[in-house]
């Protein structure tokens, strides 16, 4: 009951934000906000694999690409017809588009999750850096595959994807991945993932089925990466394989590590900071990326455990911080 | 058949370049367990150092082998210094932190070199001058080899033999092997671990610089982002051979180079970037420790 109330509250707030904010801000700011949201989804979902389970994956851009292209192809060939049919039946446009988008995102996510399952399987045999490099290879193979399939536009890119994404849908995605992560962290399954991260052999000795939990982490992470990709596709209405190089995967890893491995709020914070940083540095033009990379190095040297370490920022934590005297008494 | 042999010759040449870059990855990994993402960018710097050295010495207008050797040495020394600086100011401060912190630092250094390079050299590609005049030498059976390919092969084999000599027959090399086995035990034996790590970085960076110059001889278009893909593939080559294993890196580089050239020759150039990874996944599924790697003992 309480969770339902929470869910309804989040939806209500998001609708309010969507309606009130849109006329107030210019398209550039809107785009930056949406990209922040998409990066938050990517970072929090990768945190499930890298931060929770301790498996090192650098192929997140590949899953994102699958979700993006999968959902875009659905919308282009099926979704747009559905919307036209629904609108002919006098269903309001936002509702019809939302329904089609939801199906597209789910399909994109499922496609990515299936790939995550397939990549998760070899992870049973490989450890550490070898796993990392296989996921990296997988991401690159996906990109080359897209470059070679003419039906999805190959190197020309895929134009004309309906732009159905607004603040509301990005907000729903962000809320979903954060809530799922939080619930997972507090559950038996989450504890099993942490156990694998801390000591795989010990976890196995305690009866944790390490194999299926590792695959579970991969599948969940990939699903939300696919959803993020779907949102990305339906926001920009144009896809290009160059958006999904391994540099993108590395950006997401930087967010997870910078936030503090395993910290959900850290991943959110770092995703927002690393998305805003290049935008804030725009006035210095040529020096922008140089400063960005220098800051990354300096941050890692000064705070090697990430911004938050493994801590979490939450409402309760903030309240405690603000009223320390009561805590001690 | 002649076409196949020709592709093989091209593949071996290209593979020896991958092998040179892969050696740097594998040595640093063997000693620090760090994937040095900036290594591909050191290779890029090697090509650029040689470009400016060629301009200053006037080797472009009056090519002769002596100047070419000088240019190669300048690029190698320049990159050796860069490797030293990277290790001292970026990697050393995070050495005691987690491996992931070190990895992100490496990514930061890589981005810094690429974007700093773009700022310094300009984003437009530069054309590397012909510091050696190209001629084709027939090998019989319709196979030809260019003198540049011969130079690439000879220089890279000489450098690999040199490296082998350093690692197997000198005190510094013995110390490197000891440090890669155990930092603690090595330092108890009186080895200065810090100095050996620095030495390894300098050595690896010099090899990468040589690879950069050699590639620029054959593909003269150089730009600040040219190191990303070769760096990545050389790393894959190192993993393929068994990371941390020096002969493995050479073998991995050769396999990679030949496979790539064959794909371009017989399949399609667009699949070129995928073959490296397909090969990698196939080999790792059968031999998770790489071709020549030792399976790690699992301690409880």
- pTM for the model stands at 0.84
The distance of B275 to chain A (nearest Cα, Å) reads 8
Residue A9 belongs to some domain of the structure: no
Give the count of alpha carbons within 13 A of B228, CB side only: 16
- Which residues fall within 8 angstroms of residue A244, CB to CB, at 6 or more apart? A61, A62, A64, A65, A68, A139, A142, A143, A146
Split into its structural domains, chain A has a count of 1
Which residue from B minimizes the CA distance to A149? B270
CA trace torsion B237, B243, B246, B247 (10° rounding): -60
Instruction: Name the token pair of B29.
Output: 């990994």
Q: Is A180 exposed, middle or buried (0-12, 13-18, 19+ CB in 10 A)?
A: middle
| Per-chain mean pLDDT for chain B | 87
Q: Is A91 exposed, middle or buried (0-12, 13-18, 19+ CB in 10 A)?
A: middle
Task: Determine whether the interchain pair A257/B115 forms a contact, defined as Cβ–Cβ distance below 8 Å.
Answer: no
CA trace torsion A26, A28, A34, A35 (10° rounding): -170
Q: What is the pLDDT of residue A15?
A: 77
Q: What is the pLDDT of residue A163?
A: 84
**CB contact, 8 Å: A145 with chain B?**
yes
Inform me whether the pLDDT recorded for A117 exceeds 70.
yes
Helix, strand or coil, per DSSP, at residue B123: coil
Torsion sign (Cα): A252, A255, A257, A262: negative
Q: What is the CATH number of the domain that holds A120?
A: 1.10.3470
Give the angle A200-A206-A211 at the CA atoms, nearest 5°.
50
Inform me whether the pLDDT recorded for B248 exceeds 60.
yes
Task: Determine whether the interchain pair A137/B276 forms a contact, defined as Cβ–Cβ distance below 8 Å.
Answer: yes
Residue A308 belongs to some domain of the structure: yes
* A286 → closest Cβ in B108, B119, B232: B119
| Residue listed under structure tokens 């690409």 | A65
| Per-chain mean pLDDT for chain A | 85
CA trace torsion B227, B229, B233, B235 (10° rounding): 50
Q: What is the CA radius of gyration of chain A?
A: 20
Helix, strand or coil, per DSSP, at residue A184: helix
Could you tell me which residue, B177 or B272, shows the higher pLDDT? B177
The distance of B133 to chain A (nearest Cα, Å) reads 36
Mean pLDDT of B218-239: 88
**CB contact, 8 Å: B295 with chain A?**
no
| Out of A16-25, A275-284, A295-304, B157-166, least confident range | A16-25
Span A142-186, pLDDT tens digits: 888 898 888 887 788 888 888 888 888 888 899 999 999 988 988
Confidence of residue A5 (pLDDT cuts 50, 70, 90): confident
Interface of A with B in 52-91 (CB under 8 A): 56
Instruction: Give chain A positions within 8 Å (CB) of B238.
Output: none
Confidence of residue A324 (pLDDT cuts 50, 70, 90): low
- Which residues fall within 8 angstroms of residue B57, CB to CB, at 6 or more apart? B67, B70, B71
What residues pair up with A158 in beta bridges, in sequence order? A239
- Output the CA–CA distances (angstroms, integers) from residue B70 to A90, B7, B21, B73, in the order listed: 78, 31, 21, 5
**CB contact, 8 Å: B300 with chain A?**
yes
**CB contact, 8 Å: B282 with chain A?**
no
Q: What is the pLDDT of residue A50?
A: 86
Nearest-angstrom CA–CA distance, A64 and A158:
15
CA A83 centroid distance within chain: 27
Confidence of residue A327 (pLDDT cuts 50, 70, 90): very low
Residue A14 belongs to some domain of the structure: no
Give the phi and the psi of residue B190 in degrees, each rounded to 5.
Answer: 85, 15
Interface of B with A in 40-99 (CB under 8 A): 90, 93-94, 97-98
Inform me whether the pLDDT recorded for A329 exceeds 50.
no
Residue A274 belongs to some domain of the structure: yes
Instruction: Give chain B positions within 8 Å (CB) of A56.
Output: 100
Inform me whether the pLDDT recorded for A325 exceeds 60.
no
Instruction: Name the token pair of B10.
Output: 């091209």
**CB contact, 8 Å: A261 with chain B?**
yes
Span B249-298, pLDDT tens digits: 999 999 999 999 998 888 878 788 888 888 888 887 788 777 887 776 66
Nearest-angstrom CA–CA distance, A221 and A227:
10
Nearest-angstrom CA–CA distance, A312 and A265:
6
Number of neighbours of residue B182 by Cβ within 10 angstroms: 12
Nearest-angstrom CA–CA distance, B12 and B149:
9
Inform me whether the pLDDT recorded for A305 exceeds 70.
yes
**CB contact, 8 Å: B283 with chain A?**
no
**CB contact, 8 Å: A309 with chain B?**
no
| Residue listed under structure tokens 């496979």 | B259
- Output the CA–CA distances (angstroms, integers) from residue B293 to A178, B248, B283, B284, in the order listed: 40, 7, 12, 11
Give the angle A96-A102-A107 at the CA atoms, nearest 5°.
130
Residue A286 belongs to some domain of the structure: yes
| Out of A164-168, A302-306, A318-322, B192-196, least confident range | A318-322
Enclosing domain of residue A233: 27-328
- Output the CA–CA distances (angstroms, integers) from residue A254 to A130, A249, A270, B1, in the order listed: 19, 9, 8, 49
CB A8 within 8 A of CB A172: no
Span B33-82, pLDDT tens digits: 888 889 999 999 999 999 999 888 877 777 778 888 889 999 999 999 99
Inform me whether the pLDDT recorded for A316 exceeds 50.
yes
Mean pLDDT of A56-78: 91
Number of neighbours of residue B152 by Cβ within 10 angstroms: 24
Domain parsing of chain B, residue ranges = 16-227
Helix, strand or coil, per DSSP, at residue B33: coil
Size of interface A-B (CB pairs under 8 A): 121
**CB contact, 8 Å: A254 with chain B?**
yes
Q: What is the pLDDT of residue A47?
A: 92
What residues pair up with B140 in beta bridges, in sequence order? B143
Nearest-angstrom CA–CA distance, B237 and B39:
14
CA A173 centroid distance within chain: 9
Which residue from B minimizes the CA distance to A261? B100
Residue A6 belongs to some domain of the structure: no
Nearest-angstrom CA–CA distance, A72 and A79:
9
Instruction: Give chain A positions within 8 Å (CB) of B119.
Output: 286-287, 290
Inform me whether the pLDDT recorded for A313 exceeds 90.
no
**CB contact, 8 Å: A118 with chain B?**
no
Mean pLDDT of B177-206: 91
Helix or strand (DSSP H, E) at B127? strand B126-127
Residue A162 belongs to some domain of the structure: yes
Instruction: Name the token pair of A75.
Output: 């919308």
**CB contact, 8 Å: A250 with chain B?**
yes
**CB contact, 8 Å: A134 with chain B?**
yes
Which residue from A minimizes the CA distance to B299? A201
The distance of A276 to chain B (nearest Cα, Å) reads 17
Nearest-angstrom CA–CA distance, A316 and A324:
12
Instruction: Say how many Å lie between the first and final Cα of chain A, rounded.
Output: 34
């Amino acid at each position: 009951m309480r969770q339902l109330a929470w869910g309804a509250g989040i939806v209500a707030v998001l609708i309010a934000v969507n309606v009130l904010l849109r006329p107030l801000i210019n398209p550039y700011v809107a785009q930056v906000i949406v990209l922040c949201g998409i990066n938050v989804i990517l970072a929090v979902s990768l945190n499930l694999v890298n931060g929770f389970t301790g498996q090192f994956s650098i192929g997140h851009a590949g899953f994102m690409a699958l979700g993006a292209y999968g959902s875009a192809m659905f919308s282009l060939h099926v979704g747009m017809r559905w919307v036209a049919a629904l609108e002919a039946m006098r269903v309001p446009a936002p509702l019809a588009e939302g329904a089609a988008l939801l199906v597209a995102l789910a399909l994109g996510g499922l496609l990515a999750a299936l790939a995550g399952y397939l990549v998760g399987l070899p992870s049973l045999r490989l450890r550490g850096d070898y796993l990392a490099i296989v996921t990296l290879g997988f991401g690159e193979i996906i990109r080359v595959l897209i470059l070679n399939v003419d039906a999805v536009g190959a190197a020309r890119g895929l134009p004309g994807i309906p732009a159905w994404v607004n603040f509301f849908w990005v907000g729903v995605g962000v809320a979903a991945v954060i809530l799922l992560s939080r619930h997972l962290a507090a559950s038996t399954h989450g504890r099993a993932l942490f156990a694998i991260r801390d000591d795989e052999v010990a976890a196995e000795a305690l009866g944790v089925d390490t194999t299926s939990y590792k695959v579970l982490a991969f599948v969940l992470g990939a699903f939300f990466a696919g959803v993020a990709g779907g949102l990305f596709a339906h926001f920009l209405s144009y896809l290009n394989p160059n958006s999904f190089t391994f540099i993108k995967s590395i950006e997401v890893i930087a967010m997870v590590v910078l936030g503090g491995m395993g910290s959900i709020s850290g991943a959110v914070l770092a995703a927002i900071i690393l998305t805003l940083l290049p935008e804030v540095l725009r006035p210095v033009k040529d020096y922008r990326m140089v400063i960005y990379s220098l800051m990354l190095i300096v941050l890692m040297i000064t705070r090697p455990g990430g911004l938050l370490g493994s801590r979490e920022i939450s409402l309760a934590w903030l309240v405690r911080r603000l009223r320390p005297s009561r805590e001690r008494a | 058949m002649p076409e196949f042999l020709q592709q093989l010759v091209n593949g071996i040449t290209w593979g020896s370049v991958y092998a040179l870059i892969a050696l740097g990855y594998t040595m640093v990994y063997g000693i620090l367990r760090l994937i040095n993402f900036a290594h591909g960018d050191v290779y890029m710097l090697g090509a650029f150092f040689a470009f400016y050295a060629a301009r200053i010495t006037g080797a472009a207008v009056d090519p002769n082998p002596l100047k070419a050797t000088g240019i190669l040495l300048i690029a190698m020394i320049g990159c050796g210094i860069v490797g030293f600086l990277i290790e001292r100011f970026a990697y050393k401060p995070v050495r005691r932190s987690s491996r992931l912190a070190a990895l992100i630092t490496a990514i930061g250094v890589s981005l810094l070199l690429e974007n700093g390079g773009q700022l310094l050299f300009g984003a437009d590609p530069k054309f590397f001058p012909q510091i050696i005049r190209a001629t084709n030498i027939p090998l019989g059976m319709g196979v030809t080899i260019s003198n540049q390919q011969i130079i690439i092969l000879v220089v890279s084999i000489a450098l690999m033999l040199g490296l082998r000599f350093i690692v197997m027959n000198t005190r510094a090399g013995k110390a490197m092997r000891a440090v890669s086995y155990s930092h603690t035990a090595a330092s108890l034996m009186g080895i200065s671990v810090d100095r050996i790590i620095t030495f390894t970085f300098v050595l690896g960076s010099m090899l990468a610089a040589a690879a950069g110059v050699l590639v620029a001889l054959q593909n003269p278009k150089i730009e600040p982002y040219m190191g990303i893909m070769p760096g990545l593939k050389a790393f894959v080559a190192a993993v393929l051979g068994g990371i941390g294993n020096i002969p493995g890196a050479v073998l991995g580089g050769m396999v990679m180079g030949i496979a790539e050239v064959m794909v371009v020759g017989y399949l399609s150039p667009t699949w070129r970037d995928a073959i490296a990874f397909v090969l990698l996944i196939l080999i790792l599924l059968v031999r998770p420790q790489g071709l020549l790697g030792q399976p790690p003992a699992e301690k409880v």
